Chains A and B, each alone.
Chain A
Amino acid sequence: MSVDRRLALLALTAGTLALAACAHDGAAPHLKLGARPWERDVLARKSMQLAVEPALLAFDDHTYFSKEAAAGGRGFDGGGCGCN
């Protein structure tokens, strides 16, 4: 990864964090980023989890890993098998 890409990534991460911090610290209360503790019922649902069915995702990842060059993203990029 080039230095430029690293810097861009760092800036993006820092920017996202700063935005989150500003919104929650009241620097920009009109943004209302996020949910209040009493507004979390939807976020807590099974259907709203980032990995609803981990077993299905694991099967998918194993298949894609053995058929495609790209790996990782959601998690680590290792494969743990000799299929690629």
Chain B
Amino acid sequence: MQLKPGGIAATIGALAAGLVALPAAAQQQQQDAPSVAPGNAYDQSASDVDALVADSAVLYYQEDGGRVRAVEAETGLAWTGADGLAVSGRFTYDSLTGATPNGATRARYDQDFIGPLPAGGHLPAADTRTGASGAYTAPAGTLPVDPHFKDQRKAGDLGLTLPARAGFRLSLGGNASWESDYTSWSWRVGLAKDLFDKNTTLSLGYNYEHDESKPITGIPMPLGSMGDPAIGKQRIKRVDSLVLGITQVLTPAWLVQFNWSTGNSRGYHTDPYKLVTLTDRDSGDPFFYVYESRPRRRIRNSLFLASKLALGSYVTDATARWYHDSWGITAWTFGLSEHLPAGRSAYVEPLVRYYHQSKADFFRNYLLLDEPTPTYVSADSRLGAFGAWTFGLKGGVHLSDRVELYGSAQRYVQNGKRFYRDAPGTMAKVDLFAGSRSTSLVAGLRYHLR
């Protein structure tokens, strides 16, 4: 489905109206119905016993330069029984359109791209669903992007938490996601145990994920030349993930969480739509393109630390994460946000996040025509080195005892090295960074049915 401009405008309008309405609605609440207990509404207890809550939210996401645009709608229902039994269900629908970088470098002249030849030998035609196999041209000096990228995703999630037994809380869940060229299923199990008057909580979680990649163009031959016949229709990836965590109350107003998570992913990790430019060593101009190739295994590890510190009704949330994987990527993430009560029923939360990653061992902006082709190579900017800043504002307001609005507005900017003086010929003057910049808006509504 391609998004209609009118639909987007209506979505933005609704989001803007929702955000603008927040302070007004909050004032109204203060004047009309002081049903919220003294203090700020978000100082109330979070426990939802014998409650049924419906929650719906919409995300609007737009990358600069007419790149990817996503509209994601989510709706869910959660029920918590008096004995601690909890059941939740959630449905998500995404619509993606726009242009996505294909991995090739910019050049001083127009570049033509085609998809793999289907096994039958007919010339590839533009696919009506994703458009990903259509031929297209990148004008001189511009970042080569596949302009036809569009997809829809439907996902469902079910969760169940059983009443505590001997201090142990067991939770189970499952998730399924469908795209026209990608399907994912997963199930999970978690166990938590409170210790020392609930001041320490240990948790252990396991998740199994099974993914099927079915590119419209077929599976291209890794390192094969652009346009070479596809070598198959689909490939599989399996991921085992484990999270081990400890949450510790340090003082009556300060708690910290420490998680170790690890994942073992086996199978097809290659992006079937990504290319790598073969560059002429003398001129620095692109000569041709090959399909990227990634290892069939990826082991990830991360350490995550979170702290929540309350000072009156203000809460400082700080997080740090160290990440390393077997592809040679090391990443650091730091987040800081401040929960600020606003009036009696609202809050705002300014936030900042910094992220930095090193490049994968096999990441290359381009390959030289006369060098031996490495076993693994990718020019996907998400595997390159870059830093990223997020600045944003979150907020929420209780319109009544039952109705709550929430939302966020965020700006995300990636920065990386653009020019390499030691690159051959004209390549030294070509901007090789393909990172993205984006704006996202979320508006959500929560309704307590009981």
Contacts and interface: CB of A to CB of B under 8 A. Distances in A.
Given A13-B244, A13-B246, A74 B304 contact: yes
B329 A69 contact: yes
B196 A34 contact: yes
B93 interface: no
Interface in A11-41: 12-13, 16-17, 20-21, 23-24, 32-37, 39-41
Contact of A84 (B299, B325, B382): B382
Contacts of B55: 55
Interface of B: 40-47, 55, 57, 59, 61, 72, 74, 76, 153, 155, 175, 177, 179, 181-182, 184, 186, 188, 195-200, 202, 205, 207, 209, 211, 213, 239, 241, 243-244, 246-253, 255, 257-263, 299-304, 306, 308, 310, 313, 315, 319, 321, 323, 325, 327, 329, 331, 333, 339, 341, 347, 355, 357, 360, 382-383, 388, 394, 396, 406, 408, 410, 412, 414, 436, 438, 440, 442, 444
A76 B263 contact: yes
B382 A67 contact: yes
Contacts, number: 228
B444 A56 contact: yes
Interface of A: 1, 5, 9, 12-13, 16-17, 20-21, 23-24, 32-37, 39-50, 52-53, 55-56, 58-60, 62-64, 67-82, 84
B333 A72 contact: no
A48 B255 contact: yes
Main secondary structure, interface of A, reads loop
Nearest to B381: A67
Contacts of A67: 382, 388, 412, 414, 436, 438
B263 A20 contact: no
B200 to A, nearest CB: 5
Contacts of A46: 41-46
Contact of A70 (B179, B249, B333): B333
A19 B74 CA distance: 42
Contacts of A81: 153, 155, 177, 179, 182, 184
Given A35-B249, A84-B382, A73 B241 contact: no
B446 to A, nearest CB: 9
Contact of B323 (A42, A56, A73): A73
16 contacts: A1-B301, A36-B252, A44-B46, A55-B74, A55-B442, A56-B408, A59-B59, A59-B408, A63-B61, A69-B382, A70-B323, A73-B323, A74-B319, A77-B239, A80-B209, A81-B153
Tell which of A49, A64, A82 has the most Cβ of chain B within 10 Å: A82
Contacts of B412: 63, 67
Contacts of B250: 33-34
